[in-house]
Structures are given as C-alpha cells and as structure tokens.
C-alpha cells in the first residue's frame, strides 16, 4: 500500500450482517446498567451478548437492560452461558428467539463449573438441532482446529474458540491452535473468553481473527469505561498489524542504520 492511499474501510460479515466494529462485549458483571452503557459507547461495539433469565415476578418494575442499551441500535446476541446440556441450550435459544425476534445467537454449552470448558459433544449436537430449526449460531468452542471444522460443517455461522478459560483474563494460551483455526475456517473466527487486557485482544487480531468477544476484561477493570476504549484501540491496532503483515522474526540483531559509510 502506498502512503497516499487512504486506509480502506474495514468490516466483517457474519450470517449476512455486516459490522465495522470487530469487538463484541458482554453485559454481565458491571456495577450498574449506566456503567455498562457507558462502556459500550467507549468500546464502539455494535454487538452485545445478553443472557436469558426468568423475569422477577415479585418485582417487575426493576430497571431492564433494554432501557439502557437499545436493541434497535445495538445487536443483541443471546447467549446460552450457564447451560450444561444441549437440551438446555436449545430451550434457552428458542425462548431468546421469541423474546428478540432474530435468529443470530451465541451457542455455548459448558462441560463443568470449575473450568467452564465447553462440552464439544453437547455443543455439536445443539448446533445441529439449532441449524435445522433455522437459527444462525455463533459457537463457543475449544481451541481445536478439528472441532472448529466439525462445527462449521454443522452450520455454525462463526467459530468462537476460547483464548483461556472464561473470566480468567489469562490471555491467549495457544496461538498455534488459534492460527490453525483461522487458516482452516470458511466462516468468521472470533476469540471468545480469556482476554485480560488490551495486548491480549491485539494478539487475537494479529493472528487473523475476525473479532474478539470479551466481558470480564472490561467489566472488572478498575475503570471499565477507559478499558473499553483501550480494547477498541487494541482490536483496531491488531487488525491493522495483521493487514500490514508483520516483519519476519530473526534470531539475532540486524542493524537499522547502514553499515556503509561509517567514519
């Protein structure tokens, strides 16, 4: 790219919907709905994940998420977090579709409470049923290139491998498997879970991911709104670095100044 050329507008598309922001944020763990809305604004995210839960029938006048984050302006991505079987996840998303009126959902079936690692057998089963029912599932999964392929074959509209356990903030533990998933995928790949700080998000993007999903890294920062801004910048920086193509690594030094003409 020559220096005169403007940088082309960058966007990504999932299930026919195009977004300019490659950052998806969660809406859990914030101190208040106000803080959540402010972090969303600072992040520039166009998609938020939401959970489906029972209404509080003893106090129906409680403030609602939809009062602070307008589902007409921001894409709500209903998530099945907390589901440990395919049947629970399917039941939850059937209700989510009725509550929201759209088919784009995030499927997540967990295997155990300690690690919150995905149960791929149940996840794959749920994915097949949901696709048959007309859903467009973006699917949380292990960072396993074969599992990713199987999900794509089952009709997943996006593959969302974990970088590290949910809520751990440990950063991307296996860059090799994330890169292999990106190289093999015909649908968008988004790192989901494990991001702790801005550099982790940049790494995900530098590996060629189409986006990053995070919740705790922003919500549990000392200043969530400032961290949301940092994440926006990191995702953009990582994406640009990926497009620019990084230099080759060398084992030893290579001087930047010419050796010829030394006095």
Partner 1 sequence: MSLDDTLGIRVNGEHRRVNGGITITEMLNELGLDPHRVAVERNLAVVERSKFTEMMVEDGDDYEIVHFVGGG
Using the minimum distance from each CB to partner 1, give the nearer residue, 60 or 261: 60
Listed in sequence order, the residues at least 6 apart from 101 whose beta carbon sits closer than 8 Å to its beta carbon are none
Using the minimum distance from each CB to partner 1, give the nearer residue, 165 or 208: 165
Residues 73-92 that bind partner 1 (CB under 8 A): 76, 78-79, 81, 91
Nearest to 143 by CA among 157, 170, 163: 163
Q: How far is the CB of 191 from partner 1 (least distance, A)?
A: 14
Bridge partners of 137, per DSSP, are: 105
* Count of residues in contact with partner 1, rule CB under 8 A: 37
Per CB under 8 A, does 215 bind partner 1?
A: yes
Per CB under 8 A, does 170 bind partner 1?
A: no
Q: How far is the CB of 82 from partner 1 (least distance, A)?
A: 8
Residues 47-76 that bind partner 1 (CB under 8 A): 49-55, 57, 60-61, 64-66, 71, 76
Matching residue, tokens 């497009």:
243
Element (H, E) at 105: strand 104-107
Using the minimum distance from each CB to partner 1, give the nearer residue, 44 or 167: 167
Distance, CA of 118 to CA of 142 (rounded, Å): 6
Per CB under 8 A, does 41 bind partner 1?
A: no
Can you say whether residue 194 is alpha, beta or left, with left for phi > 0 and alpha for psi between -120 and 50 degrees?
Answer: left
Is position 106 annotated as part of the catalytic site?
A: yes
Distance, CA of 39 to CA of 253 (rounded, Å): 42
* DSSP state, residue 82: T
Instruction: Choose, from 106, 125, 149, 232, the residue flagged as catalytic.
Output: 106
Cβ–Cβ < 8 Å for 81, 107: no
Binding site for partner 1 (CB under 8 A): 26-30, 33, 36, 49-55, 57, 60-61, 64-66, 71, 76, 78-79, 81, 91, 94-100, 166-167, 215-216
Q: Which residues are catalytic?
A: 106
């Amino acid at each position: 790219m020559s220096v005169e050329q403007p940088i082309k507008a960058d966007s990504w598309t999932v299930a026919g919907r195009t977004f300019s922001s490659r950052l998806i944020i969660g809406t859990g763990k914030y101190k208040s709905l106000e803080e959540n809305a402010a972090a969303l604004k600072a992040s520039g995210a166009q998609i938020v994940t939401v959970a489906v839960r029972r209404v509080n029938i003893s106090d129906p006048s409680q403030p609602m998420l939809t009062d602070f984050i307008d589902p007409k302006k921001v894409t709500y991505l209903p998530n099945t977090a907390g589901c440990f079987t395919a049947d629970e996840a399917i039941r939850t998303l059937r209700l989510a579709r009725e509550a929201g009126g759209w088919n784009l959902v995030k499927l997540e079936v967990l295997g155990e409470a300690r690690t919150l690692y995905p149960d791929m057998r149940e996840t794959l089963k749920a994915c097949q049923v949901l696709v048959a029912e007309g859903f467009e599932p973006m699917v949380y999964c292990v960072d396993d290139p074969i599992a990713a392929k199987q999900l794509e074959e089952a009709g997943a509209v996006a593959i969302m491998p974990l970088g590290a356990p949910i809520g751990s903030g440990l950063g991307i533990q296996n860059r090799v498997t994330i890169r292999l998933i990106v190289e093999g995928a015909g649908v968008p790949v988004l790192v989901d879970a494990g991001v702790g700080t801005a550099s982790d998000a940049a790494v995900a993007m530098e590996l060629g991911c189409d986006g990053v999903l995070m919740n705790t890294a922003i919500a549990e920062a000392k200043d969530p709104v400032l961290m949301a801004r940092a994440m926006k910048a990191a995702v953009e920086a990582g994406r640009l670095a990926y497009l620019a193509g990084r230099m080759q690594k060398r084992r030893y030094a290579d001087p930047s100044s010419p050796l010829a003409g030394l006095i």
